[in-house]
Amino acid sequence: MNGPRKSTTPIAITVGVVIHKTPRIQCDDGNTLPGDGCSSTCQTEQGGIEVRIDVRPGSTVNPINLKSEGEIPVAILGSPGFRVSDLDRMTLRFGHCGRNEGARTRAFQIEDVNRDGIPDLLSHYRTKDTNLRMGDTQACLVGMTKSGSMVHGTDVVNILTKGGGPDKEGGGGKDDHHKDKGGSDKHRDDRKKDR
């Protein structure tokens, strides 16, 4: 009895393979948080608002003692095109550039820090939470506005060497500046806390 004839012709079977192309890494800020200039997939985020910040308002050297248990005051300066009241203050982070999950703001108030007639936001950050390290010459602040726009700013810092050295906190610091110009006792107290 003859059954169905079997074909001896080979049959080509194509198996579909979906290849996901990994985008080229454009940045790496050490975290997976969006909105800080580098997305969770390491792509550069466009846009955002660059703001002027002033670490240790009144100081020309911005000394930072990494062993301090105190806080670092940072002023976010308002301008005719930027109102600090638009900031979502709970999103503010300050510290080592490239690790923008740095210290959260612990206290803040609106005042005219640089006396230009435009309100500024004076914020405070715990030194040990900033991730700043020896060799850093600048610090970064990032955050968001209430409408969801990214803000970012940088200022120079002077990390104190072990035992003080040539970078020892001294002349040109906050105390001298405010003493000469009749500044408030509050700023002098800020610096004492960070020793």
Residue ranges per structural domain of the chain:
49-193
If we measure between CA atoms, which residue out of 42, 46, 64 comes closest to residue 55? 64
- pLDDT string in tens for the chain (195-residue length): 565 555 565 555 555 555 444 556 545 555 565 555 566 666 655 568 999 999 999 999 999 999 999 999 999 999 999 999 999 999 999 999 875 568 999 999 999 999 999 999 999 999 999 999 999 999 999 999 999 999 999 999 999 976 554 334 433 333 333 333 334 444 444 444 454
CATH class of 49-193: mainly beta
CA distance 75 to 15: 60
The two three-digit tokens of residue 165, written as one number? 């050295």
* Strand-pair category, 150-156 with 49-50: parallel
Q: Is the dihedral of CA 190, 188, 122, 111 positive or negative?
A: positive
